[in-house]
Amino acid sequence: MKLTPSGKDQHRHVALGATALVALVLLALPLVAGWLGPAWVRTLAFAALYVMLALGLNIVVGFAGLLDLGYIAFYAVGAYTFALLASPQLTENFPNIARAFPEGLHVPIWAAIPLGAGIAAAFGVLLGAPVLKLRGDYLAIVTLGFGEIIRIFLNNLNEPINLTNGPQGITLIDPVRIGQLRFDRSWSIWGLQLTSLQLYYYLFATLAVLCVLICVRLQDSRIGRAWVAIREDEIAAKAMGINVRNVKLLAFGLGATFGGVAGSMFAAFQGFVSPESFSLMESVIVLSMIVLGGLGHIPGVILGAVMLSVFPEFLRHTVGPLQNQLFGRILVDTEVLRMLVYGIALVVIMLYRPKGLWPAPLHGTAPRVAPSTPAQPPVGA
């Protein structure tokens, strides 16, 4: 008897092949982008950060169905936590801390990232707790307010004690260091010269892949199902014995954790944070990413995040030079153009693909099935 590979084996081979391909592309991308110019590598690194943010927001909005318009606040909390832990800001302003750390405060990343994530998660629960009973528009308004509150605090907490250095922001943040490897310098390995930007890209891509893995595993779990159940029908979810309060807080907390990790990486990458990086517009952009890609569907969310983060760079490199060639000067600033195109793109998507570019396969595409009673034979048969 000849054994043919079973469907499951075949499925596994396809999955393995796809994983290998994705890994290869992720590894090769910065090298290719390196030829095109450092700006592209930088864009790729930011794309990885945005993938993390989008995945985190997707837990709250996509899975649990809780519309959050202030998500960037957790990014800010993560960024400022890292900034305070690894810059001269605290030692300069607080003599006690300066005495305790005579060589300056340089918390290594293996401690700073969990702290950033943890504090962001605490803020997530802090936001989640008072809004448990709110849904839809009301929830959106409160979360929007929360996002603004955090930003305004960061903007004004330079008095009476200088914690955040106000609108000037915090500078001289330590770059990422893993053992002897400093991410602010280039590094040669196996005859390959990796720039600082490329190193950061690899770090962020690794973290983003980790986030994807966490999301995928959560989605197919008891917790993931509970989130979707709450999104679909909160009362029925309660009747199934789901403790809606805990499960919602978990969604807020976990979503915020992703934001916190991305934020702390952002701080280390830039070496500088200021409140203006965390405006409402950023929240809107991350939300646009997941809505555009496909709310609640992980591949769609990743697609949306990559598209919307690479797109402005693409515009800068095409439309700017094009205008220069045609008119001899820049008529419309690409930043303005970006918003215009965002707007048009979102309207078009909502009109023609209201579930996003790459929606979950079940969304609306399940066949209308015959009822359980046997179907009538066709007339004339």
Partner 1 sequence: MPRDLLLEVRSVNKRFGGLQALQAVGIRIERQQIYGLIGPNGAGKTTFFNVITGLVRPDTGAFELEGRSYEPTSVHRVAAAGIARTFQNIRLFGQMTVLENVMVGRHVRTHCGALAAVLRTRNARREEEQIRRRSAELLEYVGIGRFGHLQARALSYGDQRRLEIARALATDPKLLALDEPAAGMNATEKIALRGLLERIRSDGITILLIEHDVKLVMGLCDQVTVLDEGRIIKDGTPGQVQHDPAVIEAYLGRSHVPA
Comparing CB distances to partner 1, the nearer of 351 and 362 is: 362
Give the shortest CB-374-to-partner 1 separation in angstroms.
Answer: 11
Decide if residue 224 touches partner 1 (CB under 8 A): yes
Decide if residue 273 touches partner 1 (CB under 8 A): no
Decide if residue 232 touches partner 1 (CB under 8 A): yes
Select from 366, 375, 379, 381 the one that contacts partner 1 (CB under 8 A): 366
Count residues near partner 1 (CB under 8 A).
Answer: 37
- The contacts of residue 275 (CB under 8 Å, 6+ apart) are 76, 151, 152, 154, 155, 164, 166, 167, 169
Q: Which of the residues 234 through 253 are near partner 1 (CB under 8 A)? A: 235-244, 250
Give the shortest CB-108-to-partner 1 separation in angstroms.
Answer: 24
Decide if residue 225 touches partner 1 (CB under 8 A): yes
Give the shortest CB-213-to-partner 1 separation in angstroms.
Answer: 8
Tokens of 102: 């005579």
Span of 85-93, 115-123, 132-140, 356-364 interacting with partner 1 by CB under 8 A: 356-364
Give the shortest CB-239-to-partner 1 separation in angstroms.
Answer: 5
CA gap 134, 147 in Å, rounded: 17
Decide if residue 189 touches partner 1 (CB under 8 A): no
Name the nearest CA neighbour of 148 among 268, 22, 279.
279
Decide if residue 379 touches partner 1 (CB under 8 A): no
Site pattern 51..70 for partner 1 (x: CB under 8 A): --------------------
Q: Which of the residues 250 through 269 are near partner 1 (CB under 8 A)? A: 250, 254
Select from 179, 191, 367, 378 the one that contacts partner 1 (CB under 8 A): 367
Comparing CB distances to partner 1, the nearer of 30 and 62 is: 62
Write out the residues near partner 1 by the rule CB under 8 A: 213-214, 217-218, 220-226, 228-229, 232-233, 235-244, 250, 254, 360, 362-363, 366-369, 371-373
